[in-house]
């Protein structure tokens, strides 16, 4: 289903607090001053003030605080709009069990005005739902549940539509087809911010649009909005590229404002498993939430409340919690206590009891990691490297929330070797492009000592070298540092898991690099000997009349034995791990043909002329890629 942005419960609360409090407080403080002044002159009373105080709609609040939604500046606004639409499209396709095919097109109308078209092959949207999804903020399917999903990046497609309407005055145009038999409905919507409601501008059933959806179903959204398109870091291109890496099951087509078509092909033919919804874990909630849950629950007794509303609480654990709470409380609390009888003080005791008790960690089968194989497939198609390794950690828990870390690295090949390595951060398969240095993953990468794995790393910074590090956090609740949801908060448990996964990949890289160096050294050694043996055999033949062929063969045999001996010696030192072990590792891919020569620092400079060209392939690879693009556009 297309939804209007996936808020988590906590996020929602935070927003609502902000929404109700901030403007009101502002109003009261300013009016207090006025009252003080005016009261002195006897002009204003509480009643007159009350007239000026009225409810503010959610949409109105966001219209005025658009930076909270990621629409701070024209460039980011464009990216956020694409992001919301693509995230929604991917979620919708996956939930319907359809392999996603997403088409993104950005058309530049004038310098700062763009027309954004996003089309998917998802299940489509029922006519009745269209207004709610595209016209109302805070409406959606991901809203009231504890489940791993993408929708965490803001307020969703309706906000993008609202932004478009505000900046260009153009309504949102939606075409959706829900089944093969029915024609697509074509709806143009406008959002009334004061009422948080959509207004239909025009509506029709349009069989002509059938060609847009060859798969039989799908949705297309067109938003006209103000923005600025720029390539490079934090661009739409980067976002789509990273989305393609984390979602190798998706096929994405991207038509840039310069009318270039870039294809991000599908690399995996299976859809990820569907994430299971779970109930919150007792240790993961705060007191306020507990009170709210107590108020809203349909359960009658405390015991059934605890068992029904939380995961990992059975009958025994429920009575244990009730007993603990009883000890802390002045009022008696039993498992059979009626929920409606529990006041604030009792709730607090219950909260404390939960913190004391040891409760089994939440179930982790609710998490769907990308998986090492799929991660490698994603990286492989988008990153021109020679070595790939991935590590998926077992699921763990922080503050009652299950989560799982995945790390993949790509090394060498055409990656630039004299820059800091690049970190690709993902939360529930969604790329995080802003606030890198505030992110827990950044800290984890910096804290990992890459020197052990054969890379240069200046103090307190990222490793330098042809390295791309991908960090993915899968969780039912990804903790972000701020409302802008661009960086993962730095919980000890999270950072620890990240580091463990990074180290796992790093070790594989280290093994590979050592082996590559050793192999190169050995082949160089063998090469040196082989090169000179011929000359020596010739000279000896000429001077002493020795049989040329015999001597050559004898020396060659010695050379081979010599170099082999050296291999073994290193094995005994324990420095060189058997070559086979790395190749048999399922989570490692090595592309021998992309192997560039080892960096200059490793080269002893003896035979500079014979070294293969280091980075020349990069340009050729780029050329061929751009040629492809051109072909497609033409």
Partner 1 sequence: MAKKKTTKKTTKKTTKKSTKKSTPRGSLVSKKRDQETIGKIRDLATSVAKSGLAQREPRIEIPIRSINNMKYNARKRILEMGSNTQQRELFNVGQARKFMQMLLVSKGCRDLIQAEKTLSLRGMYYMTLHTIEGTSEKTFNEQGESDTILEDLEVTIDGLREELHVFAKKRGTMVGNITVIDNGDEINCRRMGTGGYAIPSICEPNVIQFKDCDADFILHVEKDTVWSRFNEDRFWEKHNCILTEGSGQPPRGVRRLLHRMHKELGIPVYCLLDCDPWGHYIYSVIKQGSINLAFESQRMAIPEAKFIGIRAEDYDRCKLTNDVKIALNERDITRAKQIMDYPWFADKKHWKKEIKTMLGNGFKMEVESLITKDISYVSEVYVPQRLKDGDFLD
Question: Mask 100-119, x = binds partner 1 (CB under 8 A)?
Answer: --------------------
Residue 338 or 562: the one with the smaller Cβ distance to partner 1 is 562
**Do the beta carbons of residue 293 and residue 302 sit within 8 Å?**
no
> Which of 96, 519, 536, 577 lies at the binding interface for partner 1 (CB under 8 A)?
536
Residue that has been written with the tokens 């092909």 in this structure:
265
Residue 434 or 529: the one with the smaller Cβ distance to partner 1 is 529
Taking the complex as a whole, the smallest distance from the CB of residue 528 to partner 1 amounts, in Å, to: 5
As given in the structure block, the two tokens for residue 349 are 């005791």
Residue 261 or 546: the one with the smaller Cβ distance to partner 1 is 546
Taking the complex as a whole, the smallest distance from the CB of residue 605 to partner 1 amounts, in Å, to: 13
Of the candidates 60, 75, 78, 158, the one whose C-alpha atom is nearest the C-alpha of residue 115 is 78
Taking the complex as a whole, the smallest distance from the CB of residue 459 to partner 1 amounts, in Å, to: 35
Q: Quick one: which H or E segment has residue 546?
A: none
| Near partner 1 in 16-35, by CB under 8 A | none
Taking the complex as a whole, the smallest distance from the CB of residue 610 to partner 1 amounts, in Å, to: 6
Angle between helices 236-246 and 74-95 (to 10 degrees): 20
Largest separation between any pair of C-alpha atoms in the chain: 126
Taking the complex as a whole, the smallest distance from the CB of residue 527 to partner 1 amounts, in Å, to: 8
Residue 493 or 524: the one with the smaller Cβ distance to partner 1 is 524
* C-alpha distances in Å from residue 28, one per residue of 47, 178, 239, 553: 13, 49, 42, 97
Helices marked H in 329-439: 344-356, 372-382
As given in the structure block, the two tokens for residue 5 are 């942005």
Residue 448 or 563: the one with the smaller Cβ distance to partner 1 is 563
As given in the structure block, the two tokens for residue 310 are 């939380």
**Do the beta carbons of residue 60 and residue 67 sit within 8 Å?**
no
| C-alpha span between 609 and 273 (Å, rounded) | 52
Taking the complex as a whole, the smallest distance from the CB of residue 618 to partner 1 amounts, in Å, to: 24
Length of the chain, in residues: 634
Taking the complex as a whole, the smallest distance from the CB of residue 518 to partner 1 amounts, in Å, to: 14
Of the candidates 222, 188, 183, 221, the one whose C-alpha atom is nearest the C-alpha of residue 205 is 183
Helices marked H in 219-278: 236-246
Residue 556 or 591: the one with the smaller Cβ distance to partner 1 is 556
Residue 422 or 541: the one with the smaller Cβ distance to partner 1 is 541
Residue 110 or 609: the one with the smaller Cβ distance to partner 1 is 609
The separation between CA 186 and the C-alpha centre of its own chain, rounded to angstroms, equals 32
Taking the complex as a whole, the smallest distance from the CB of residue 382 to partner 1 amounts, in Å, to: 37
Taking the complex as a whole, the smallest distance from the CB of residue 563 to partner 1 amounts, in Å, to: 9
| C-alpha span between 452 and 499 (Å, rounded) | 14
Taking the complex as a whole, the smallest distance from the CB of residue 547 to partner 1 amounts, in Å, to: 8
**Do the beta carbons of residue 412 and residue 614 sit within 8 Å?**
no
Residue 233 or 550: the one with the smaller Cβ distance to partner 1 is 550
> Which of 233, 338, 532, 628 lies at the binding interface for partner 1 (CB under 8 A)?
532
Return the SS3 of 174: strand
Residue 50 or 543: the one with the smaller Cβ distance to partner 1 is 543
Q: What are phi and psi of 319, to 5 degrees?
A: -70, -30
Residue 576 or 590: the one with the smaller Cβ distance to partner 1 is 576
Taking the complex as a whole, the smallest distance from the CB of residue 534 to partner 1 amounts, in Å, to: 6
Residues ≥6 apart with Cβ < 8 Å to 186: 173, 174, 175, 203, 204, 205, 206, 209
Taking the complex as a whole, the smallest distance from the CB of residue 557 to partner 1 amounts, in Å, to: 7
Q: Are strands 185-192 and 113-120 parallel, antiparallel or unpaired?
A: unpaired
| C-alpha span between 375 and 405 (Å, rounded) | 12
Residue 28 or 607: the one with the smaller Cβ distance to partner 1 is 607
Taking the complex as a whole, the smallest distance from the CB of residue 549 to partner 1 amounts, in Å, to: 11
Question: Mask 606-625, x = binds partner 1 (CB under 8 A)?
Answer: -x-xx---------------
Task: Provide the β-strand partners of residue 467.
Answer: 411
Residue 532 or 568: the one with the smaller Cβ distance to partner 1 is 532
Angle between helices 315-328 and 344-356 (to 10 degrees): 120
Q: What are phi and psi of 428, to 5 degrees?
A: 45, 50
| Near partner 1 in 233-262, by CB under 8 A | none
Of the candidates 188, 163, 160, the one whose C-alpha atom is nearest the C-alpha of residue 176 is 188
| C-alpha span between 495 and 474 (Å, rounded) | 13
Return the SS3 of 191: strand
| Near partner 1 in 540-559, by CB under 8 A | 540, 542-544, 546, 550-551, 554-555, 557-559
Contact window for partner 1 (CB under 8 A) among 144-152, 395-403, 579-587, 605-613:
605-613
> Which of 461, 539, 568, 620 lies at the binding interface for partner 1 (CB under 8 A)?
539
Return the SS3 of 456: strand
Taking the complex as a whole, the smallest distance from the CB of residue 600 to partner 1 amounts, in Å, to: 19
Residues that bind partner 1 (rule: CB under 8 A) add up to a total of: 28
> Which of 562, 581, 625, 630 lies at the binding interface for partner 1 (CB under 8 A)?
562
| Near partner 1 in 502-531, by CB under 8 A | 524-525, 528-529, 531
As given in the structure block, the two tokens for residue 295 are 């108020």
Asked if 602 touches partner 1 (CB under 8 A), the answer is no
Of the candidates 155, 89, 142, 154, the one whose C-alpha atom is nearest the C-alpha of residue 116 is 89
> Which of 43, 327, 534, 575 lies at the binding interface for partner 1 (CB under 8 A)?
534
Residue 557 or 622: the one with the smaller Cβ distance to partner 1 is 557
Which residues of this protein are in contact with partner 1, per CB under 8 A? 524-525, 528-529, 531-536, 538-540, 542-544, 546, 550-551, 554-555, 557-559, 562, 607, 609-610
């Amino acid at each position: 289903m297309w939804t209007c942005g996936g808020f988590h419960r906590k996020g929602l609360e935070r927003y609502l607090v902000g929404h109700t409090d901030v403007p009101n407080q502002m109003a009261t403080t300013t009016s207090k001053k006025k009252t003080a002044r005016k009261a002195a002159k006897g002009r204003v009373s509480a009643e007159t003030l009350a007239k000026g105080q009225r409810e503010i709609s959610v949409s109105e609040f966001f219209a005025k605080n658009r930076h909270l939604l990621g629409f701070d500046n024209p460039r980011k606004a464009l990216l956020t709009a694409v992001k919301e639409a693509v995230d929604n499209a991917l979620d919708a396709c996956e939930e319907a069990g359809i392999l996603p095919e997403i088409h993104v097109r950005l058309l530049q109308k004038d310098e700062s005005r763009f027309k954004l078209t996003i089309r998917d092959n998802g299940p489509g949207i029922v006519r009745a739902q269209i207004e709610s999804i595209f016209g109302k903020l805070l409406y959606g399917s991901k809203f009231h549940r504890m489940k791993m999903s993408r929708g965490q990046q803001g307020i969703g497609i309706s906000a993008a539509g609202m932004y478009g309407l505000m900046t260009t005055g153009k309504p949102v145009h939606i075409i959706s087809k829900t089944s093969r038999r029915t024609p697509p409905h074509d709806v143009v919507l406008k959002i009334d911010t004061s009422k948080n409601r959509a207004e239909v501008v025009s509506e029709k059933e349009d069989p002509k649009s059938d060609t847009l959806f060859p798969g039989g179903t799908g949705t297309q959204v067109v938003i006209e909005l103000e923005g600025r398109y720029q390539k490079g870091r934090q661009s739409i291109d980067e976002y789509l590229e990273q989305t393609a890496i984390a979602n190798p099951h998706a096929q994405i087509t991207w038509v840039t404002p310069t009318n270039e078509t870039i294809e991000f092909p599908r690399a995996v033919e299976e859809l990820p498993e569907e994430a299971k919804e779970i109930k919150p874990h007792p240790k993961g909630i705060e007191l306020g939430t507990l009170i709210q849950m107590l108020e809203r629950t349909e359960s009658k007794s405390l015991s059934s409340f605890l068992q029904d509303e939380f995961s990992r609480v059975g009958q025994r654990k429920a009575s244990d919690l009730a007993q603990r709470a009883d000890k802390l409380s002045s009022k008696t609390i039993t498992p059979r206590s009626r929920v409606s009888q529990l006041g604030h003080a009792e709730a607090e005791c219950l909260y404390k009891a939960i913190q004391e008790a040891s409760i089994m960690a939440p179930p982790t089968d609710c998490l769907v990691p990308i998986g090492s194989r799929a991660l490698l497939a994603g990286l492989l198609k988008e990153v021109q490297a020679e070595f790939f390794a991935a590590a998926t950690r077992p699921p763990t828990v922080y503050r009652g929330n299950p989560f799982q870390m995945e790390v993949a690295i790509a090394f060498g090949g055409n990656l630039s070797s004299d820059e800091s390595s690049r970190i690709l951060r993902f939360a529930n398969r969604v790329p995080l492009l802003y606030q890198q240095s505030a992110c827990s993953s950044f800290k984890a990468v910096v804290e990992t000592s890459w020197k052990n794995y054969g890379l240069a790393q200046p103090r307190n910074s990222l490793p330098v070298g042809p390295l791309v590090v991908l960090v993915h956090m899968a969780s039912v609740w990804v903790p972000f540092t701020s409302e802008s949801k661009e960086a993962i908060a730095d919980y000890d448990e999270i950072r620890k898991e990240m580091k463990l996964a990074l180290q796992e990949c790093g070790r594989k890289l280290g093994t590979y690099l050592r082996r590559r160096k050793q192999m190169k050294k050995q082949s160089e050694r063998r090469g040196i000997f082989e090169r000179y043996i011929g000359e020596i055999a010739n000279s000896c033949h000429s001077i002493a009349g020795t049989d040329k062929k015999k001597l050559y063969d004898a020396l060659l045999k010695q050379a081979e034995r010599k170099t082999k001996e050296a291999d073994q010696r290193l094995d005994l030192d324990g420095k060189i791990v058997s070559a086979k072990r790395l190749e048999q590792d399922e989570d490692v891919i090595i592309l021998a043909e992309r192997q560039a020569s080892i960096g200059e620092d490793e080269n002893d400079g003896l035979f500079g002329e014979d070294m293969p060209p280091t980075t020349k392939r990069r340009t050729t690879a780029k050329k061929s890629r751009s040629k492809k693009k051109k072909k497609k556009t033409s």
